[in-house]
Structure 1
Amino acid sequence: MPLNKYFFYALFSFIIWGFFSLALKPLHNYPSIDILFYRVFFSTILLLLLNITLRKDIVKNSWNTFLTFSKKEKKQFLTLTIGGGFLLVLNWFLFMYAVNHVSLQSASFAYLICPIITTVLAFFLLKERLNQWQWIAVLLCIISCILLAYGHVQDLIYSLIIATSFALYLISQRKNGNFDKFIILTIQLVIASFVLFPFFPKYAGPIPTASLFYNMMALIVILFTIIPLYLNLYALKGMNSSAVGILMYTNPLIHFILALFYFKENVQITQLIAYGLIALSIVVFNIKKKTTS
């Protein structure tokens, strides 16, 4: 894989998400669903303000560009953008549901299974071809997931559903490449807000009053939502979905390193082997492709 700006944008987005637990940890006393509500609503408000105040010319040019699209192009853009918004909020909702009502293990598995599903779906839906080394990398990922999922079949089923929703999001946005990514992200988060808002009065807790909540939420919104999502969408302009999917393994690798060295959690030998295979798969998928291209 060429080490161009798209590669580094994708890699950086998953590195950022890998440290998400550091921002969530101070909010452990707040319900997960509340964090989801405020994360989406605040992100949407900030994006709308940025577009209205600082990006008016870009929004106007993008609108003019949209008007030049053929009827077919307009339909495709609207379908992929709106569909992407629903897939995004579905993924976040399923993830939070798994954390609250299934198990944290199922949510963690989703990060590990998603790159494999993305790669396979991109192969069949987008006709993205993989060389033999890349298929070997996928096989290593599958082996690592089997090691981590052993004895947790129910968690694995929930993980498959969560992972598939985000894999479909990545694939859909890979085809949605001819438009300003910041505007696409804004539209998708507006959709996410509309989907979540009817649930807010019933399921949200009391409005938080502590400054810690809003300080951490500002960090989550800017650093762990808007920036990585934008980088991810931009990377899809110049990378295959399968390549972005494999780089997604950077996220759980960082989670594992933080758990081991920062949070001092106990680690089993099977976990060490599995995460070692994941690290190896990233190297095989990327470096080997470069040497054969």
Structure 2
Amino acid sequence: MATADLRRGYILGLSAYVIWGLFPMYFKAIQAVPSLEIIVHRAIWSALFGALLLLVWKHPGWLRELIDHPKRFAVLALSGSLIAANWLIYVWAVNNGRMLEASLGYYINPLVNVLLGMLLLGERLRRLQWAAVVLAAAGVAQQLWQVGSLPWVSLALALTFASYGLIRKKAPVAALPGLVVETWLLLPLAIGWILFHPAAMSSQPAFWTTSEALWLMAAGPVTLIPLVCFNAAARHLPFATLGFLQYIAPTLVLLLAVLVYGEHFDPAKLISFLLIWAGLAVYSVDTWLTLRKRPARA
């Protein structure tokens, strides 16, 4: 792979994960707006901005392909519901002092992917993958034992996002058109919610003269720009490199939670994180070893 392509891939990949890692700062800026209302606007502005992107970056034939395979609309409706649920849980966590749990959820996510592959796709886990899953489960169990409750925010984020990825595999639609269609399918619900909630902040004409209105309108670019960067990076970087870069986002969220927003990182949480980090280290080693064993392409 050419050095210029690798450099471009690193820049795009780092851009995507850094933006995702700094998401909490964006949602904190609109903390006065209820979480559900933020998601409603995220769907609306993502749909509009996504349509604009599709005009700029043409994806020939994607709409015809969807029309020829109408079942894919149903799959995208389901995946859109899952990603909307993921967005809602994440925004709620950020704006309710649960950023550490959100960070933990995205650290867990690769291991949940492995587990779902075994349970739903019949994939066989290698020994190191089993070890990684067991370590992550121990981290969750430690939270239950020490705190007395499951880290439901972490588990819900990991499960919804892993399920979203799994379902999107069943709908062979390119990433950007797929996400745009998902937001289009959410659009009637989002507009209906605003129309039938006259007390909502964004239903008041005066709201649209405030800075929060501009922040809400920015939800479209904020949602889609890192996705575009990620998909471009995926074309220039090896899979293993992308796998390591994915830990940048939850690490930034963790640092923001503790250093900027003052969330308490107590010993019980530290032990959970250490167990899950150990699981991720084992998982990364397994991925690296597996890729090394593959024959080089001619």
Q: TM-score range by the shorter chain?
A: 0.7 to 0.9
What residue in structure 2 maps to residue 142 of structure 1? 137
Task: Give the CA deviation at 1:65.
Answer: 4.3
Q: Distance in 2 between matches of 1:244 and 1:119?
A: 16
Task: Give the CA deviation at 1:138.
Answer: 1.9
Change (3 A) 1:41 1:245: farther
Task: Give the CA deviation at 1:24.
Answer: 1.7
Pick aligned residue for 2:167 from 169, 172, 193? 172
1:205 aligns with 2:201: yes
Q: Distance in 2 between matches of 1:290 and 1:142?
A: 22
Please state whether the residue corresponding to 1:165 is helix, strand or coil.
helix
RMSD between aligned residues = 4.0
Calculate the TM-score normalised by the size of structure 1.
0.73
What residue in structure 2 maps to residue 181 of structure 1? 175
1:123 aligns with 2:118: yes
Task: Give the CA deviation at 1:23.
Answer: 1.2
Q: Distance in 2 between matches of 1:25 and 1:173?
A: 30
Whether the aligned pair in 1 keeps the contact of 2:21 and 2:251 (CA below 8 Å) is yes
What residue in structure 1 maps to residue 257 of structure 2? 259
Change (3 A) 1:234 1:274: farther
Whether the aligned pair in 2 keeps the contact of 1:116 and 1:245 (CA below 8 Å) is no
Judge which range, 134-143 or 183-192, deviates more.
Answer: 134-143
Q: Distance in 2 between matches of 1:182 and 1:77?
A: 15
Task: Give the CA deviation at 1:110.
Answer: 4.8
Change (3 A) 1:94 1:86: same
Pick aligned residue for 1:83 from 54, 78, 83? 78
Q: Which amino acid aligns with 1:126?
A: L
Q: Which runs of 5+ in 2 are unaligned?
A: 236-240, 294-298
Deviations 1:209-259 (A, max 9, x none): 355324433554323x1134456778999xxxxx99998665433222222
Q: Which amino acid aligns with 1:204?
A: A
Whether the aligned pair in 1 keeps the contact of 2:139 and 2:276 (CA below 8 Å) is yes
Calculate the TM-score normalised by the size of structure 2.
0.72
Q: Which amino acid aligns with 1:54?
A: V
Whether the aligned pair in 2 keeps the contact of 1:112 and 1:252 (CA below 8 Å) is yes
What residue in structure 2 maps to residue 283 of structure 1? 281
1:214-293 mapped onto 2 (5 Å cutoff)? 214-223=213-222, 225-229=223-227, 250-292=248-290, 293=293
What residue in structure 2 maps to residue 240 of structure 1? none
1:20 aligns with 2:11: no
Whether the aligned pair in 2 keeps the contact of 1:14 and 1:247 (CA below 8 Å) is yes
What residue in structure 2 maps to residue 196 of structure 1? 190
Report sequence identity in percent.
22
Pick aligned residue for 2:40 from 37, 40, 45? 37
Task: Give the CA deviation at 1:44.
Answer: 1.0
Task: Give the CA deviation at 1:76.
Answer: 4.7
Judge which range, 189-198 or 250-259, deviates more.
Answer: 250-259
Change (3 A) 1:26 1:94: closer
Whether the aligned pair in 1 keeps the contact of 2:48 and 2:220 (CA below 8 Å) is no
Q: Distance in 2 between matches of 1:12 and 1:132?
A: 34
Please state whether the residue corresponding to 2:61 is helix, strand or coil.
helix
Whether the aligned pair in 2 keeps the contact of 1:116 and 1:138 (CA below 8 Å) is yes
Q: Distance in 2 between matches of 1:113 and 1:12?
A: 22
Question: How many aligned residue pairs are there?
Answer: 276
Change (3 A) 1:33 1:19: same
Change (3 A) 1:176 1:136: same
Please state whether the residue corresponding to 1:209 is helix, strand or coil.
helix
Q: Which runs of 5+ in 1 are unaligned?
A: 238-242
Q: Which amino acid aligns with 1:216?
A: W
Task: Give the CA deviation at 1:14.
Answer: 4.8
Whether the aligned pair in 2 keeps the contact of 1:185 and 1:230 (CA below 8 Å) is no
Q: Distance in 1 between matches of 2:242 and 2:171?
A: 15
Whether the aligned pair in 1 keeps the contact of 2:82 and 2:160 (CA below 8 Å) is yes
Please state whether the residue corresponding to 2:201 is helix, strand or coil.
coil
Q: Which amino acid aligns with 2:73?
A: L
Change (3 A) 1:261 1:86: closer
Task: Give the CA deviation at 1:39.
Answer: 1.6
Q: Distance in 2 between matches of 1:41 and 1:196?
A: 7
Whether the aligned pair in 1 keeps the contact of 2:100 and 2:253 (CA below 8 Å) is no
Task: Give the CA deviation at 1:186.
Answer: 0.8
Change (3 A) 1:88 1:265: closer
Whether the aligned pair in 2 keeps the contact of 1:144 and 1:275 (CA below 8 Å) is yes
